[in-house]
Structure 1
Amino acid sequence: MTTELLTRQAITPELVLDGLDDVLGLHIGTANTLFVTRLERQLEAMKVTPKQVAILWLVKANPGVKQTDLSRFFKIERPTVHQFVRSLMRNGFLINEPSKLDRRAGGLWITGEGETVLSAARVIIAESEAALTACLSSHEKSELYRLIMKVYLSAAQKG
């Protein structure tokens, strides 16, 4: 299949797109919405969002991680991370304990219940991504990931 055949105009022939179909950010955003919306529906019963699962994932891999580190990783403001963390703590998935060296600084740890939710969520994420990318070959998936990371890393270096 050639890229000339892959346009939104084929899906909405009644709309004049006037070059909008050439805006890469529109397509990236729409693809992200497809991934996130599907995951939100599947994770809802576990009382977590995709972003909260990512936080659990990082906390499990980095016990004692600070919220400021999560903020830097996700490129979102600290108060937003704090809201996610508060929700995870209310649900019993995370705990925040003060540092032994600096009582003002706290670190995050995942609870047993949080690990159970994370484990189930990881399966859902893998299945969801496999379903949404089934139209891609293994090489195409690798190339898509490589290109997205190239854009991300280039933008991150520029500030």
Structure 2
Amino acid sequence: MATETLTRQAVTPELDLDGLDSILGIHVGTLNTLLLSRLERHLESFKVTPKQVAILWLVNANPGVKQSDLSRFFKIERPTVHQFVRQLTMNGHLVSEPSKLDRRAGGLWITETGTATLTAAREIIFTDEAELLSPLTPAEREELYRLTIKVYLSVPNRT
């Protein structure tokens, strides 16, 4: 089976791409921008960002999760996670309570408001991803996920 060569040159034939089309980062960055800008528009009425929804998703699945665990998962620094959590807490989506075993460590729990927001956001995300990935076959989607996760797992955590 022959695979066709795809290039962004067709989008702007008047531009000399000078090899830019061979840089993976430009494609990943543009796709990320497309995905996030679509999601941000759809999530705007809920006053949450895509990253905040991901945090709600994980807290919902892992009641009492620590911010340090979220930091490791997202491979971002703890102060950055703290800012996301702080905003979610201020907006009534999460509550933070100290651990009964270690008062220095706190856990996160989702509120009813957070659960309602997450439920609506999941539907938006599933619909958006289905639309964005519609040009791909199921096998291509699976391969895209596999390769993306492979690269993610190779990057060390930021602490």
- TM-score in same-fold range (> 0.5): yes
1:30-53 Cα deviation digits (max 9, x unpaired): 111111110000001001000000
What is the number of residues matched between the two proteins? Answer: 156
Instruction: State the TM-score, normalized to the length of structure 1.
Output: 0.94
Identity within the alignment, % = 69
In 1, the alpha carbon distance for the partners of 2:15 and 2:66 equals: 48
Report deviation, 1:154. 2.7
**1:55 corresponding residue in structure 2:** 55
Misfit runs of 4+, over 4 Å: none
Gaps of 5+ in 1: none
**2:71 corresponding residue in structure 1:** 71
In 1, the alpha carbon distance for the partners of 2:99 and 2:91 equals: 22
Supply the RMSD in Å over aligned alpha carbons. 1.4
In 2, the alpha carbon distance for the partners of 1:147 and 1:96 equals: 35
Task: Check if 1:27 corresponds to 2:27.
Answer: yes
**1:108 corresponding residue in structure 2:** 108
Q: How does 1:6-155 map to 2 (within 5 A)?
A: 6-155=6-155
Task: Give SS of 1:33's match.
Answer: helix
In 2, the alpha carbon distance for the partners of 1:144 and 1:154 equals: 16
Instruction: State the TM-score, normalized to the length of structure 2.
Output: 0.94
Gaps of 5+ in 2: none
Report deviation, 1:110. 0.3
